[in-house]
Amino acid sequence: MNPFGKSMFTAPELGQDVAGLLKTLSQLQIPQADLARIQGEYLRSASELWNSSLGAGGKVTLPKDRRFSAPEWSDNPLAGFAAATYLLNARTLMELSDVVQGDDKTRARIRFAVQQWVDAAAPSNYLALNPEALKKAVETKGESLTQGMQHLLGDLKQGHVSQTDESLFEVGRNVATTEGAVVFENELFQLIEYKPLTAQVFDKPMLFVPPCINKFYILDLQPDNSVIRYTVEQGHRLFVVSWRNPTDDMAATTWDDYIENAVLKAISVTQEITGAETLDMLGFCVGGTILSTALAVLAARGEHPAASLTLLTTLLDFSSTGILDIFVDEGSVRLREMTIGPDAPQGPGMLRGKELASTFSFLRPNDLVWNYVVGNYLKGETPPPFDLLYWNSDSTNLPGAMYCWYLRNTYLQDQLKVPGALTVCGEQVDLGAIKAPVYLYASREDHIVPWDSAFLSTRIFKSPYRFVLGASGHIAGVVNPPAKKKRNYWINAAPAASADAWLDTATSQPGSWWTDWSEWLAGHAGKKKAAPKSFGSRKYKAIEPAPGRYVKAKV
């Protein structure tokens, strides 16, 4: 592909017609000085590439890139030249997208579209241009291609690209195995109580509200990286919400339903079972947004059931939502409302889990899409077992009515942080009315909940808070057990006017943030008492063993 001429490779469709991308770029307003500079740099680099390939017997030195790191690329003059040319053209296209005139959102959208096209057009993604795949096909006498075709047919049948060998995992058998029992269920969720692992437990029970756009067992993958098991090991009597995977008959379910009939119900049932007036509570991602909204509703009713509140990678201030902002404007939200929302002519519909999963995968296409296209189909390799990627592929639906409310009132209009701007369950929402002390955790490399956006929650709460920043991304940063002694986290008790100011004076600590959170939580969990010997209560008897039926339902 030449960024100033005809494309060398044909990229597949990415939900839009990208064949005219270069033409569109040429029609956008780019300052002449920047255009001339980029053109000059391109021609100079292209000439150097051509001359170096002629002078080295056709071989070129490739820039560092995982896609072209195998010796087959550098040893094959044609493949190496194709890869080097691609990388030059890709860099030039991205430079052009960076200097397009327009507002920040338009520029971000252009950059995202160009990046998608660039990543899809890599020569490594195509059998005829990939020397690694061709060599393997010859060595295996075509067996790798046969195996790749079988993988492709299997993925077409299941509706998504396999990122791991899903046949090796089963929920309840080798993921989500912490012992417990379902003690309550309704049409929206099951409430799981976990078996104590200590002789004594803290007086105040713990309630987890995970995200409803994924399944709760991200917090209980394996015994050695389970947030749930770790919490129980620290002496907490733990209850966890397991969301139902919505079916079509739930399309009209609203945000208010998720608050009143799910979170508020989970709080009241936990109180009834344990006899505790206040609970320690934790919300993860959108689960934290839902939990905070629920506590604000209760605060408006004069109730304050939270002894403490922990929010992991949670947005409450949606003024800066990172890469996800490019998908949200009045037109796109209105389109959703007219197709799957309450205003849809045919009635509300569903946001399909596969659509959500695909969107999140294409936020990191080389790592989560094209890497597996090459390995699974071109090389015929079965991806290695990885519990996190198995969870990532186990997607969930969302009711259209609930999703559209969330999209408009948070991502588009950013009203949740404004006291009294929203009415939920008949109450005006004021997050500042929540009286519980708050532990705020963010991940520094999070592309879904940018850490500096999560930091803005410190301006919302009026109660004492502790903000902690972990290394890595949205999931890996959270699921970071102390025993593995990986990564680090930053702490800073001093108030700061901005996220950058906070980080400038923060102290880096080795290992996992879990230990810091456990020490903080112990200060709000009350005294110790004998652990219960059975699940539930006389009124709420055990229904079935954890992890329950709801989490096993597929989309």
Is 415 in a helix, a strand, or coil? coil
- Residue 410: phi and psi, rounded to 5, are -110, -70
Planar angle of CA 325, 326, 327, nearest 5 degrees: 90
Identity of the amino acid at 403: Y
Q: What is the CA radius of gyration of the chain?
A: 26
Catalytic residue status for 285? yes
Alpha helices (H) along 66-142:
71-75, 77-98, 104-120, 131-139
Planar angle of CA 366, 372, 375, nearest 5 degrees: 120
Identity of the amino acid at 405: W
- Four-point Cα dihedral 38, 41, 47, 50, nearest 10: -80
Q: Is the link from the previous residue into 547 a cis peptide, with omega within 30 of 0? A: yes
Count of alpha carbons within 13 angstroms of residue 378, beta-carbon side: 19
Q: What is the DSSP letter of 190?
A: E
- Residue 152 neighbours by CB under 8 Å, 6+ apart: 376, 377
* b/e per residue 63-95 (b: at least 16 CB within 10 A): eebebbeeebbbebeebbbbbbbbbbbbbbbeb
- In sign, the C-alpha dihedral spanning 268, 271, 274, 278 is positive
Distances 20 to 5, 10, 25, 38, 51 between C-alpha atoms, Å: 12, 11, 9, 21, 31
Q: What is the DSSP letter of 141?
A: T
Q: Which burial class, exposed, middle or buried, applies to 61 when counting CB atoms under 10 A from its CB (0-12, 13-18, 19+)?
A: exposed
Q: How far apart are CA 139 and CA 135, in angstroms?
A: 6
* b/e per residue 516-554 (b: at least 16 CB within 10 A): bbbebbeebbbeeeebeeebbeeebeebeebbbebbebe
Among the options 212, 285, 404, 425, which is catalytic? 285
- Residue 177 neighbours by CB under 8 Å, 6+ apart: 220, 222, 223
Cβ proximity of 428 and 195 under 8 Å: no
- Sort residue 142 into left (φ over 0), alpha (ψ -120 to 50) or beta: left
Catalytic residues: 285
